[in-house]
Amino acid sequence: MSDKTPAFLPSATPPTWLGVMGGGQLGRMFVHAAQMMGFKVAVLEPAKDCPAGHAADHLICAGYGDEQALGELAGQCVAVTTEFENVPAQSMARLADHCFVAPNAACVSVAQSRIEEKRFFTDNAQASGVLPAPHKTIASLQDIEDIADDLLPGILKTVRMGYDGKGQVRVKTREDVRAAFEKMGNVTCLLEKMLPLAYEVSVLAARGHNGASVVYPIAENVHRDGILFTTTVPGPNVTAECARKAQDAALVLIERLGYVGVLCIEFFVLQDGSLVVNEMAPRPHNSGHYTIDACVTSQFAQQARAMARLPLGDVRQHSPAVMLNILGDVWFEGEGNAAREPAWDAVLALPGANLHLYGKDDPRRGRKMGHVTFVAPTLAEAQDSLRQACAILGIPL
């Protein structure tokens, strides 16, 4: 697509509509960003009571493969995106027959399969300078017998539908693999070698329809029980060389993928300082929420720009930031089952606190309910506010 391809400019009469497949909190934050730019947003989601649906200008309540609903969304919108990677790729392809889709079905399909994802990373390793962890497909009992000794201990992951630590089991022996494989229903899995991890980082990159790309400051992430706990930018452990290598790799991979929109790529930094590419998400990402409060252009506004074929926005970070994920656990004291509202007033009294709740009215332990981003003149000040917020909310550090 050339630079001369017309942009979808926001208009009030008639309104310019953008579409989102999926009704979760990422869709909700995209809706807010797109509406601020003057667009109207339609959301296609099976659940009527959903975070994105509460904010959208129009909710199409139907399954992601519903032909009539897909036709309605494509007919109303000039461009459509997805807010999570498990929307069927064939639905994205169906939409592309009638409107601009970013990212396209092929890109989404690669990210939906750990096997295809690892193959993409491996095939482009010479250009990107990074490789994935050693791995092996496990589709049968014979595959388990054929596991090389140096691939264990490892992590057995389902090839599809795994996220936030779900569909993953740590294994030390072939017997462990066999038991985990059986427990997962003998579905095709990927065994990844466990590496000496120092810390984890993620890179947000965005690419426009004309091939122009930008990359955000690198984020250092801490996970608990497979769920993102904090994101710190700039990362206290990230060296300039590590940041450059990860950002350069992300720009190569997003170009090789032929991607349009915001893409998050997660990396492992090993104890010897080397970089290993882990996985990617074809959408804005939890670790990119800091961009709402700390960057000139948020990841959600960037997604709207890319979809609408507008120039990509400035990715400069104007303040150090620490993002704290808020799970449903903070609604409960100890092991009790009686929910009560957390002390948001005390959290908001902290310097640089920006509270984002996702409109979910059913707090459950382990469920993502919101996040707080702390911005400050210095990283130390942002981290101090984080520590105080954790004390208020009863979150152990």
165: left (phi over 0), alpha (psi -120 to 50) or beta: left
Instruction: Determine whether the annotation assigns residue 165 to a binding site.
Output: yes
Residues 205 and 213: beta-carbon distance below 8 Å? yes
163 is in an annotated binding site: yes
Q: Is 114 labeled as ligand-binding?
A: yes
State yes or no: 241 annotated in a binding site: no
The β-bridge partners of 326 are: 370
Structure tokens at 263: 């893409």
Q: 279 among the known binding-site residues?
A: yes
193 labeled part of a ligand binding site: yes
Q: Please state whether the peptide bond connecting residue 14 to the residue before it is cis, i.e. omega within 30 degrees of 0.
A: yes
The response to whether 221 counts as a known ligand-binding position is: no
**Is 23 annotated as belonging to a binding site?**
no
- Residue type for position 267: F
100 and 78 Cβ atoms separated by less than 8 Å: yes
192 annotated as belonging to a binding site for a ligand: yes
Tell whether residue 244 is among the known ligand binding residues. no
Has 359 been labeled as part of a binding site? no
* 388 annotated binding-site participant: no
What count of residues does the chain have?
397
Do the annotations mark residue 4 as ligand-binding?
A: no
Residues 201 and 219 sit within 8 Å (Cβ to Cβ): yes
Q: Which residues are annotated as a binding site?
A: 114, 157, 162-168, 192-195, 200, 223, 278-279
Q: Which residues are annotated as a binding site for ATP?
A: 114, 157, 162-168, 192-195, 200, 223, 278-279
